[in-house]
Amino acid sequence: MKFAILAALLAATALPASAQANRDPAWPDIRAAVWGETTLQDGAHLIAIDSPTRTMDDARAQIAARIVAPQGDALTRVSLVLDENPMPVSAVFDFDAPQPGFFFDVTMRVNGPTPLHVVVETAMGDSFVAETFVKTSGTGACSAPPGTDPKAALATLGDMDLTISQVGGDAADPMRTLQAMAAGERQVNLDVMHPSHSGMQMDQISLLFIPMRYVETLDLDLDGADFATMTGSISLSENPSLSVSVPGDTQAVDVTMTDTDGTTSHARATVAGY
C-alpha cells in the first residue's frame, strides 16, 4: 500500500504548466506536495551530492550522494528530486530498518537544466535537505527517442546483472572511500535491462507515442531479510544502473524488479565462497 501511495505522489508532483512555461522555481510546489508542513532542515553537513556540473549525456547522467545520519539518529528514507523533470521525485529509497548511513549512485534522465535536491528523513522524525544544480546539453532526455527498438527491448526486459563488491579505491573521491571503509561497507551493483519508456517518446517508425513503462520498484533483501526498496520514475535512464552501500558483513543479496506493467524479475548474488 505504501508504494501505491508513493507512486501517486510521484505522479502528482509532475510540474505544473505554469512552472514549465514561465520557468518559475518548481521546488516550493514539490516541497509542499510531498512534505507538506514538515520542516526541511539544512542538511549540507550530512548529505554530499556528487552530480555533473553539466551532463555529458542527458539521457544517462550519473547522480550519487553519500548520507550520514545525525548523531544518535538513523535514516529511514532518502529521496532524489530533479526539480524540472516531468516527474520530479525521481527515486526514493525506503529502509526496512533505519540505517546509520547510505550511499547511492544511479543513472538518470535529466530533462533540462535543473536544481537537484536530496531529502533525508530520520527515525527521530527530522528531515534534512541538500541541493545543487545540474546543467544539460539540451537534448530533452525524457522525450528523446529510445536507444533501442521498443519491440526488441521486450526480449531482454527484466534481465539483471547483480554483483557485490568491496569498497575500492576512488581516486576522484578518496574521502568517500575512506568513509565507506571506516563504516565497514560493501557495495551492491545492479544493471537492469529495461527501456524505461517515459510516455513522452515517439516511435520513430509509427510516429505514435510509446506508452509509459518504467521500473516501479527494486526490492533489496540481504541474507534473507528485507533491507530497502527503491521506488523509481520515468527519470530512470534506459537500462538503468544502480549502486548502493550495504553493511560490510553482507553475504548474499536478492533483488526483485517490478515495473509499471506488473512484470517482475529476480536476481541473486553472493560473496565468493559463501
Give the type of residue at 61: A
Q: In the chain, which residues have pLDDT < 50?
A: 1-12, 15-22, 169, 171
Q: Between 2-12 and 27-35, two packed helices, what is the crossing angle to 10 degrees?
A: 160
User: Would you state the pLDDT for residue 204?
Assistant: 64
d(CA 180, CA 245): 8
User: Would you state the pLDDT for residue 140?
Assistant: 64
Judge whether 116 and 134 are in contact, CB under 8 Å: yes
User: Would you state the pLDDT for residue 21?
Assistant: 36
Write the burial class of residue 144 (CB in 10 Å: 0-12 exposed, 13-18 middle, 19+ buried): middle
Domain made up of 2-270: CATH architecture: Sandwich (2.60)
User: Would you state the pLDDT for residue 178?
Assistant: 59
Instruction: Report the 10 Å Cβ neighbour count for 262.
Output: 7
SS (H, E, C) 215-246: EEEEEEEECCEEEEEEECCCCECCCCEEEEEE
User: Would you state the pLDDT for residue 3?
Assistant: 44
User: Would you state the pLDDT for residue 100?
Assistant: 96
pLDDT in tens, 188-219: 999 999 999 876 666 666 666 778 899 999 99
User: Would you state the pLDDT for residue 176?
Assistant: 57
d(CA 213, CA 2): 20
d(CA 259, CA 267): 15
Judge whether 29 and 115 are in contact, CB under 8 Å: no
Give the domain ranges of the chain. 2-270
User: Would you state the pLDDT for residue 160?
Assistant: 98
pLDDT in tens, 51-79: 999 999 999 999 999 999 999 999 999 99
